[in-house]
Amino acid sequence: MKFGTKAIHAGVEPDPSTGAIMTPIYQTSTYVQRSPGDHQGYEYSRTHNPTRTALQNNLAALENGKHGLCFSSGLGAIDAIIKLLNPGDEVISTNDLYGGSYRIFTKVFERYGIKFHFVSMENPESIEKYVNDRTKLIWAETPTNPMMNIIDVAGIATVAKKHHVLFAVDNTFATPFLQNPLDLGADIVMHSVTKYLGGHSDVVMGAIIVNDDHLADQLAFIQNACGATPGPQDCFLVLRGIKTLHIRMERHCQNGKTIAAYLKNHPKVEKVYWPGFEDHPNHQIAKKQMRDFGGMISFTLKGNKIEDAKKILENLHFFALAESLGGVESLCGHPASMTHASIPKEEREKIGLVDSLIRLSVGIEDAEDLKEDLKKALDIIS
Q: What residues are annotated to the active site?
A: 46, 98, 170, 195
8 Å CB contact between 231 and 346: no
8 Å CB contact between 77 and 190: yes
In the chain, the amino acid numbered 60 is A
Query: Residue 209 in 3-state DSSP?
Result: strand
Q: Give the CA angle between residues 157, 212, 125 to the nearest 5°.
A: 10
Bond preceding residue 267 cis, omega within 30 of 0: no
8 Å CB contact between 144 and 357: no
Nearest to 296 by CA among 133, 72, 100, 144: 144
Segment (H or E) for 215: helix 213-226
Q: What is the DSSP string of 297-336?
A: EEEEETT--HHHHHHHHHH-SSSEE-S---SSS-EEE-TT
